[in-house]
């Protein structure tokens, strides 16, 4: 049997860093000691470097059979590996994943083509497919997605039905929360004024749209005792509502994404359609509230919300923002952005980063303690990071398919240097060294 030892690493123990020798056997962490073990067949010297659990990305669009020009399981998970992400919960894009057959197809595709272990969200859920929830849950896919707005609008009765059905089956309901009525009202005004510029998009669904929808679904959840997860939260109002709900012991968790922590709508003036995403970017107050939310535990997790569109799908928005693809590539830059803008700029601590990127997402999406933690018995998914490396982001160095990034030219300090999945080297010194086929589907366990 091979024994791999990660030597002289710094790992997080509570709120401090401790020196550790991580012993890996049979894809698992066998032990963690403070001294070198007597026996090792392979060694990786991590001297002076931080070692985190491989990141668990709870929301990334990697594979839609209808849009493999944007991304697929292989390119998306190559990018993930290079970004220190070793587990992904793949999110539906346009092609529904709402029947047992569709879920099985996606599991097969992921197992064949992914480099990292994965789980799946099912959706987009509505009144018609909610009857499939028990069967899908039996396959281990226990996380479902719905919307309070177009393009997958679920009315209030449907939302409550979905909460009841997911709750009865011990599942979690993810909601894209923006108010449909406010969006429709604003869209009518913007269309009447013939607005097609980037800033019009930012006006379409303002803070109040997210606030109203989050408040509504939190209130619905109270009566049903469902497990609610708010996808990609972008506003300070959302943070405040979730904070209050948590004080009242509502079973709600919330996520935000690197782009909502680093850009504001002002950046759209420069990057235009390339920063079009749903929800849209907000203001500096919201950015501060989201970082605060991560620090104080209101915002549970950071997900990449990786949703790349091609250059053509973005460029078309220069003349008409409504025609542009909404979404950005993000899975590979998530960790460097959080190390640089979060840890190195002292907005969050390293233990907070580990909590919101590893431990919490593993717990929220039912793969803990197999993933998201460095402890004996867990999968040996690890990322070695160097907090001191400073490098400019260049799309040509990144691995996802679309060949552009909203961080182009930005200097980031703090990068992953080695990524290991179940004891196997995936990424080393700038190179993805694994090939597809070794991935495992992870049934969610709650």
Look at residue 411 and give its three-state secondary structure.
strand
Measured from the CB of residue 60, what is the shortest distance to Zn ion in angstroms?
Answer: 8
**Residue 91 vs 241, nearer CB to Zn ion:** 91
Helices (H), 225-346: 236-247, 258-262, 267-271, 284-296, 311-315, 334-337
Closer CB to Zn ion, 62 or 357, in the complex: 62
Give the binding-site size for Zn ion (rule: CB under 5 A): 1
**Binding to Zn ion (CB under 5 A): which residues in 36-95?**
91
CB of 145 to Zn ion, least distance (A): 8
What span, in angstroms and rounded, lies between the C-alpha atoms of 279 and 321? Answer: 14
Nearest residue (CB) to Zn ion, 174 versus 352:
174
Which alpha helices (DSSP H) does 316-397 contain, by range? 334-337, 350-354, 360-364
Please state the closest distance from residue 89 (CB atom) to Zn ion, in A.
11
| Residue nearer to Zn ion on the CB measure, 85 or 420 | 85
To the nearest whole angstrom, how small is the minimum distance from the Cβ of residue 121 to Zn ion?
9
C-beta of 110: minimal distance to Zn ion in Å? Answer: 17
Closest alpha carbon to 208 in 303, 129, 279 = 279
Annotate each residue in 89-128 with x if it binds Zn ion (CB under 5 A) or - if it does not, as one string.
--x-------------------------------------
What backbone torsions phi and psi does residue 119 show, to the nearest 5 degrees? Answer: -125, 180
Closer CB to Zn ion, 6 or 209, in the complex: 209
Tokens representing residue 19 in the block: 């020196």
Q: Which is nearest to 255 in space by CA: 280, 231, 235?
A: 231
Q: Which residues contact 435 (CB under 8 A, 6 or more apart)?
A: 115
Peptide bond into 279 cis (omega under 30): yes
For Zn ion, which is the closer residue by CB, 119 or 419?
A: 119
CA–CA gap between residue 432 and residue 86 (Å, rounded): 13
What is the helix (H) or strand (E) element at residue 433, kind and residue range?
none
| Least Å from the CB of residue 369 to Zn ion | 26
Residues contributing to the site for Zn ion (CB under 5 A): 91
């Amino acid at each position: 049997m091979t024994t791999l030892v990660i030597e002289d690493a710094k790992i997080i123990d509570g709120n401090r860093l401790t020196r550790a020798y991580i012993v890996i056997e049979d894809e698992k962490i066998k032990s963690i000691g403070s001294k070198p073990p007597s026996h090792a067949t392979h060694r990786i010297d991590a001297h002076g470097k931080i070692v985190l659990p491989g990141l668990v990305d709870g929301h990334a669009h990697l594979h839609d059979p209808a849009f493999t020009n944007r991304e697929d399981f292989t390119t998306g998970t190559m990018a993930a590996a290079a970004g220190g992400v070793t587990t992904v919960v793949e999110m539906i894009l346009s092609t529904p994943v709402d029947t047992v057959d569709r879920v099985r197809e996606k599991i097969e595709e992921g197992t064949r083509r992914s480099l990292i272990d994965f789980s799946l969200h099912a959706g987009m859920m509505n009144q018609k497919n909610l009857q499939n929830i028990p069967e899908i849950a039996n396959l281990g896919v226990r996380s479902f997605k719905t919307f309070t707005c177009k393009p997958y609008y679920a009315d209030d009765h449907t939302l409550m039905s979905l909460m009841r059905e997911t709750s009865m089956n011990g599942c979690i309901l993810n909601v894209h929360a923006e108010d449909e009525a406010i969006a429709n009202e604003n869209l009518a005004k913007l269309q009447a004024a013939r607005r097609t510029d980037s800033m019009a998009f930012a006006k379409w669904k303002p803070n109040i749209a997210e606030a109203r929808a989050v408040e509504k679904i939190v209130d619905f959840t109270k009566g049903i005792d469902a497990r609610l997860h708010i996808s990609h939260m972008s506003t300070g109002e959302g943070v405040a509502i979730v904070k209050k709900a948590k004080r009242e012991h509502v079973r709600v968790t919330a996520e935000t994404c690197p782009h909502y922590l680093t850009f504001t709508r002002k950046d759209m003036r420069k990057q235009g359609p390339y920063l079009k995403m749903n929800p849209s970017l907000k203001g500096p107050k919201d950015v501060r509230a989201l970082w605060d939310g991560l620090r104080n535990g209101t915002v549970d997790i950071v997900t990449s919300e990786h949703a790349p569109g091609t250059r053509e799908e973005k460029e078309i928005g220069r003349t008409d923002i409504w025609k542009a693809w909404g979404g950005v590539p993000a899975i590979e830059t998530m960790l460097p952005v959080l190390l640089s803008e979060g840890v190195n700029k002292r907005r969050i601590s390293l233990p907070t980063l580990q909590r919101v990127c590893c431990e919490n997402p593993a717990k929220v999406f039912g793969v803990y303690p197999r993933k998201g933690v460095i402890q004996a018995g867990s999968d040996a998914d690890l990322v070695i990071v160097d907090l001191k490396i400073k490098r400019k982001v260049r799309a040509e160095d990144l691995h996802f398919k679309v060949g552009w990034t909203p961080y182009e030219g930005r200097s980031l300090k703090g990068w992953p240097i080695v990524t290991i999945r179940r004891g196997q080297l995936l990424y080393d010194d700038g190179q993805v060294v694994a090939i597809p086929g070794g991935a495992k589907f992870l049934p969610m366990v709650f």
